[in-house]
């Protein structure tokens, strides 16, 4: 029996909601995974994550294999025990991070310089699987090749085919019975390459599928065409995970197309720069207009930050460079994003997703 399974409980057009069953509990989909790159979601702890509504988090293989090292995490009992998080964990293979380091890529794998000490690091598909088995997440990802867009079609096709070859090697190398390995679809924004990649990745045989190589600079309409092409070739009874997507409009678009899982640093990164997310639009608390504003970030928001603090106080913390500002704004942004996703799941279950999506979009557009 598969270590991780997904079951559909309701659909509303292509949009769907279901349950992802894992060794560390079930997750309702659509699901957003806060990004804990180095085994921590920046500025918050596991209690904050639970209160915000997180059911699964993401950690990054590339960073953890370098610091503190997969051997140490394994000796500490794996990621769940190391982090103090007893809910599901997914690890990205690190393909996107490696892409940002201008690596040397050949059929064997990727060679790059560590961001920590500059040492030469080699990572093969087999090593990526081994490291993730040591880290011990519920879901591991195959090693893929991410291509920055725009790029020549010949480059996109070459690396899509290389990702397919690596996926098969990862599948063969994976041995951990209480962990599931997901494949990754590549192909840039070319619908034909996306469809080919999805069909061939599905044929290898995985219990879930990441759709990678998007949210790297392409326009939303091109992203959506690429998503639709991939979705059309993926099994209907397996989860579809759009990697690196986390803006409000993008999430609604992707759910509308029939995808189930998402991750992104956007909510936490923006918080560290004073920017907050709301249903009526996003704004920066640094501006002087909020100096004496006694209202919360968002009226009616149930997060800890909005229940206890005003915009004026939060702006004060930001300007004084207080570390608590990062935590409080991160709590709100995660609560907002997780609430957006939970609302989408509720709407799909009620057969009202179109109305929900229109309401989200119209409120955001009305604030532009």
200-233 pLDDT, tens digit per residue, is 999 999 999 999 999 888 999 999 999 999 999 9
pLDDT score at 33: 98
15, containing H or E segment: strand 15-22
Which of 42, 115, 43, 49 lies closest to 86 in space, CA to CA?
49
Same domain, 252 and 314: no
The label of the residue with tokens 């060679």 reads 111
In terms of domains, do 226 and 275 share one? no
d(CA 277, CA 267): 8
Residue ranges of the chain whose pLDDT lies below 70:
367-368
Co-location of 315 and 184 in the same domain? no
Domain count, the chain: 2
Residue 122, classed as helix, strand or coil, is strand
Tokens linked to 134: 């040591």
| Residue that terminates a domain, selected from 214, 248, 263 | 263
pLDDT for the residue 231: 98
Query: Do 299 and 331 lie in a common domain?
Result: yes
Nearest to 194 by CA among 163, 162, 160: 160
Which domain, by its residues, includes 350? 265-368
Query: Do 245 and 286 belong to one domain?
Result: no
pLDDT of residue 71: 98
The pLDDT value recorded for residue 367 is 57
Non-local (6+) Cβ contacts of 283 within 8 A are 275, 276
From the list 131, 128, 156, 130, the residue with the least C-alpha distance to 142 is: 128
Active site residues: 92, 263
The domain boundary residue, chosen from 213, 248, 263: 263
Is residue 147 domain-shared with residue 271, that is, in the same domain? Answer: no
pLDDT for 144 equals 96
Residues 211 and 317 in one domain: no
How far, in Å, CA of 112 to CA of 120, rounded?
6
Q: Are residues 81 and 176 in the same domain?
A: yes
Shared domain check, 282 and 251: no
H-state helical runs in the chain: 46-52, 61-66, 70-75, 79-83, 95-99, 125-135, 153-173, 191-204, 220-231, 248-257, 266-271, 304-308, 311-319, 323-349, 353-367
Domain boundary among 263, 289, 311: 263
């Amino acid at each position: 029996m598969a270590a991780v399974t997904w079951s559909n409980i309701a659909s509303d057009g292509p949009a769907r909601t279901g349950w992802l069953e894992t060794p560390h509990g079930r997750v309702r989909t659509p699901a957003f995974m806060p990004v804990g790159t180095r085994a921590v979601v920046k500025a918050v702890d596991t209690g904050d994550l639970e209160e915000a509504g997180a059911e699964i988090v993401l950690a990054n293989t590339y960073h953890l294999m370098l610091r503190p090292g997969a051997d140490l995490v394994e000796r500490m009992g794996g990621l769940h025990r190391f982090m103090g998080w007893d809910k599901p964990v997914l690890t990205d293979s690190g393909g996107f991070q490696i892409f940002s380091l201008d690596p040397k890529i050949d059929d064997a794998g990727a060679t790059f310089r560590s961001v920590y000490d500059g040492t030469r690091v080699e990572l093969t598909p087999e090593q990526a699987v081994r490291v993730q088995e040591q880290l011990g997440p519920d879901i591991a990802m195959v090693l893929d090749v991410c291509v920055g867009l725009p790029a020549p079609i010949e480059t996109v096709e070459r690396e899509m085919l290389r990702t397919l070859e690596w996926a098969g090697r990862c599948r063969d190398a994976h041995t951990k019975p209480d962990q599931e390995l997901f494949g990754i679809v590549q192909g840039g924004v070319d619908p034909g390459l996306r469809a080919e990649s999805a069909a061939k990745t599905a044929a290898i045989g995985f219990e879930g599928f990441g759709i990678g190589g998007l949210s790297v600079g392409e326009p939303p309409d091109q992203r959506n065409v690429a998503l639709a092409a991939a979705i059309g070739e993926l099994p209907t009874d397996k989860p579809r995970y759009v990697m690196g997507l986390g803006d409000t409009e993008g999430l609604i678009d992707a759910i509308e197309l029939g995808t189930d899982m998402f991750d992104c640093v956007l909510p936490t990164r923006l918080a560290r720069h004073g920017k907050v997310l709301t249903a009526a639009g996003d704004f920066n608390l640094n501006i002087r207009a909020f100096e004496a504003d006694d209202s919360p970030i968002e009226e009616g928001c149930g997060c800890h930050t909005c229940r206890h603090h005003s915009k004026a106080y939060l702006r004060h913390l930001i300007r004084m460079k207080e570390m608590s500002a990062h935590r409080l704004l991160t709590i709100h942004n995660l609560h907002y994003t997780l609430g957006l996703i939970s609302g989408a799941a509720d709407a799909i279950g009620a057969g009202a997703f179109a109305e929900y999506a229109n309401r989200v979009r119209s409120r955001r557009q009305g604030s532009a």
